[in-house]
């Protein structure tokens, strides 16, 4: 564990395309940490505070062409600023671990690469809004695009799922192929922070693989 992480809580993010199973795995990871006496806070982006959840509604619902990629980027960072300042940092300061379903890598992948805003502009905005604040570990769940989209569609048809939050899922196969490549490129560029985990297997296998990465990174027993 880095000295920075040892003085406060740990910030872990789960990333990946649609239908990768991030929400399921976050619940399992939080349970594993709790079993070891570690307080863990599960959160998500866009969202994590009342204000950020209000912005979420603008981003994940409605027509695909509702916003252009630059507007999306600005909305995501408005929500992210709220999330970090009001949820993430306070939890880390009291020593809790924070496990977030998506963070800045999603904006870099969705808007910066697949949305063609450009990595430099997204990076500059991140610096302006959050400075050098980054996760201690990012777990990227990777699976074939067609598999992920099929899972997302099935999830939307499940009782209780919010089928209206499918704006990004409707952006087309080429967009999602570009998105998958973007996440893999991010992982390759930052191997000290990012780990890629195959997510096209059963949930138990994915959980075991994720936990192995967390345990190795932070020297926890398997």
Q: What percent of the chain has pLDDT over 70?
A: 94
pTM value? 0.93
As a whole number, the mean pLDDT across the chain is 93
For 185-202, the pLDDT digits (tens) are: 999 999 999 999 999 999
Q: pLDDT class for 20, splitting at 50, 70, 90? A: very high
For the chain, list the domains and their CATH numbers: 3-218 (3.40.50.300)
Q: Residue 138, SS3?
A: strand
Phi, psi of 137 (to 5 degrees): -150, 135
Q: Prior bond to 61 cis, omega within 30? A: no
> Residue 4: its pLDDT value, please?
41
Q: pLDDT class for 158, splitting at 50, 70, 90? A: low
> Residue 153: its pLDDT value, please?
84
Nearest to 26 by CA among 53, 48, 1, 44: 44
For 112-128, the pLDDT digits (tens) are: 999 999 999 999 999 99
Q: Residue 111, SS3?
A: helix
């Amino acid at each position: 564990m880095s000295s920075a992480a040892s003085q406060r809580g740990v910030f872990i993010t789960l990333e990946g395309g649609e239908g990768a199973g991030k929400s399921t795995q976050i619940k399992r990871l939080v349970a594993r940490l709790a079993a070891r006496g570690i307080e863990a806070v599960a959160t998500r982006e866009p969202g994590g505070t009342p204000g950020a959840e209000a912005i979420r509604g603008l981003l994940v619902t409605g027509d695909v062409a509702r916003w252009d990629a630059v507007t999306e980027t600005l909305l995501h960072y408005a929500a992210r600023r709220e999330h970090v300042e009001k949820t993430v940092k306070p939890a880390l300061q009291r020593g809790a671990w924070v496990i977030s379903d998506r963070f800045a890598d999603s904006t870099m992948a969705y808007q910066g690469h697949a949305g063609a805003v450009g990595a430099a502009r997204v990076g500059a905005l991140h610096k302006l809004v959050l400075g050098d604040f980054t996760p201690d570990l990012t777990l990227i769940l990777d699976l074939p695009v067609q598999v992920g989209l099929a899972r997302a569609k099935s999830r939307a048809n499940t009782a209780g799922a919010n089928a209206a939050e499918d704006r990004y899922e409707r952006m087309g196969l080429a967009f999602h192929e570009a998105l998958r490549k973007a996440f893999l490129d991010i992982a390759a560029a930052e191997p000290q922070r990012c780990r890629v985990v195959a997510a096209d297997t059963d949930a138990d296998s994915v959980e075991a693989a994720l936990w192995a990465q967390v345990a190795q990174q932070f020297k926890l027993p398997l």
